[in-house]
């Protein structure tokens, strides 16, 4: 009796066996037909990459050990020592730290571009500029980038566009269809969705770039484990449903926070007064995601009182799980930035980032109301 499992089994093995030398030669002559060593490839890891590739409408993808290793892989697809990289000024602090603290040690030059100047790159592009790294929705200020417009500027300048699509997910925006060359995700976040996986993925528009990304991951040992690949693939099965609920809840909470007297500002693309609301609505097909930020009084004790007043939203420096959580950009995600950089970006003492889960929205609002009353 043949066995056909509905769910792919977990191939929890570091190495695969061969019958003889002929089988070994076939492995090298027919790539992708069999497996040798899980750093080079594993059925679970390949399944995850293929599924995300389909979601993003790419022409090849590779899973990585984390979102950070996905960013590293993407940059190395196009860059080597002596090259120049542009980066959106308003970006995840870990991305900025990787570029400025590590890649500069490898001889790669970095220049940050203010968000207001992302659509006119001419003054920033040098003869050795290879790419620009940006986010679909920026972390933590929720600025929405017009990807088609940036892609057009990149094409004029002859550089590549690499987009971190973590905050949006392919359910909301597909950057490759808007002109991006590479898309990266921290699979840890929405794609997996349950706060139990650390993973990343790189998706390419061109097959050659996908093959180069795979080569980098294997050579640098950035491969994802079989079990985490399996968990992430399981999470993907509910991605569309989760994103819709994340977005619905986030809009309800942003609307509530907007009218609260103890909240001075709310940053959420779904609010009509958000500077890029119309763009976000068009680029996201009516969905605005589950992330928002808001500002309390710029006093550490005010923030502490608020955090301690919450019952159902833990202070957890990550995002995109099914359970809502809050984070503190000043002390976590953007801690490595200088005080001047944080001030320029608006990352102040009172800024709170809220990852809205899929719980009942009324319960979340009740929790926020109680915490705000404790201030």
- Active-site residue list: 39, 92, 164, 189
C-alpha radius of gyration, the chain, whole number: 21
Residue ranges of alpha helices (H) inside 272-311 are 277-283, 300-309
Beta partners for residue 294, in sequence order: 266, 352
HSE at residue 25, side-chain half, CA atoms within 13 A, is: 3
Structure tokens at 149: 């417009």
How far apart CA 375 and CA 370 sit, in angstroms, is 9
DSSP one-letter string for 59-88: S-EEEESSHHHHHHHHHHHH--TT-EEEEE
d(CA 33, CA 158): 36
Q: What is the Cα 294 distance to its own chain's centre?
A: 20
Both tokens of residue 49? 């990459």
The CA distance from 89 to 183, in Å, is 18
Cβ(162)–Cβ(182) under 8 Å? yes
Give dist(CA 201, CA 197) in Å, integer: 13
- 268 Cβ neighbours under 8 A, 6+ residues apart: 142, 250, 251, 254, 274, 288, 291, 292, 293
């Amino acid at each position: 009796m043949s066995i056909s499992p509905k769910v792919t089994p977990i191939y929890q093995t570091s190495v695969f066996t061969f019958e003889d030398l002929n089988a070994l030669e076939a492995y090298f002559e027919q790539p992708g037909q069999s497996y040798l060593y899980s750093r080079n490839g594993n059925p679970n890891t390949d399944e995850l990459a293929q599924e995300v590739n389909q979601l993003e409408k790419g022409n090849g993808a590779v899973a990585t050990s984390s979102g950070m290793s996905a960013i590293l892989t993407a940059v190395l697809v196009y860059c080597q020592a002596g090259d120049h990289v542009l980066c959106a000024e308003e970006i995840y602090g870990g991305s900025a730290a990787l570029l400025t603290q590590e890649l500069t040690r490898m001889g790669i030059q970095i220049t940050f571009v203010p968000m207001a100047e992302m659509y006119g790159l001419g003054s920033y592009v040098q003869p050795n500029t290879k790419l620009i790294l940006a986010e679909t929705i920026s972390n933590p200020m929720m600025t929405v980038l017009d990807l088609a417009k940036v892609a057009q500027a990149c094409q004029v300048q002859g550089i590549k566009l690499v987009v971190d699509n973590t905050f949006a997910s392919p359910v909301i925006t597909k950057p490759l269809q808007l002109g991006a060359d590479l898309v990266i995700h921290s699979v840890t976040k929405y794609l997996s969705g349950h706060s139990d996986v650390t993973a990343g993925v790189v998706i390419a528009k061109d097959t050659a770039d996908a093959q180069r990304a795979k080569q980098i991951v294997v050579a640098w040992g950035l491969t994802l484990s079989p079990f985490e690949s399996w968990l992430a693939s399981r999470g993907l099965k509910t991605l569309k449903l989760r994103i819709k609920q994340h977005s619905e809840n986030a809009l309800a909470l942003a609307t509530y926070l907007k009218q609260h007297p103890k909240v001075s500002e709310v940053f959420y693309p779904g609010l009509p007064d958000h500077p890029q609301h119309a763009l976000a609505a068009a680029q996201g097909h009516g969905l605005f995601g589950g992330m928002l930020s808001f500002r309390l009084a710029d006093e550490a004790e005010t923030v502490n009182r608020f955090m301690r007043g919450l019952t159902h939203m833990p202070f957890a420096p990550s995002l995109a799980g099914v359970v809502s959580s809050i984070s503190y950009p000043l002390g976590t995600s953007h801690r490595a930035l200088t005080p001047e950089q944080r001030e320029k970006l608006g990352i102040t003492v009172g800024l709170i980032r809220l990852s809205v889960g899929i719980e009942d929205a009324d319960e979340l609002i009740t929790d926020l109301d109680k915490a705000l009353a404790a201030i």
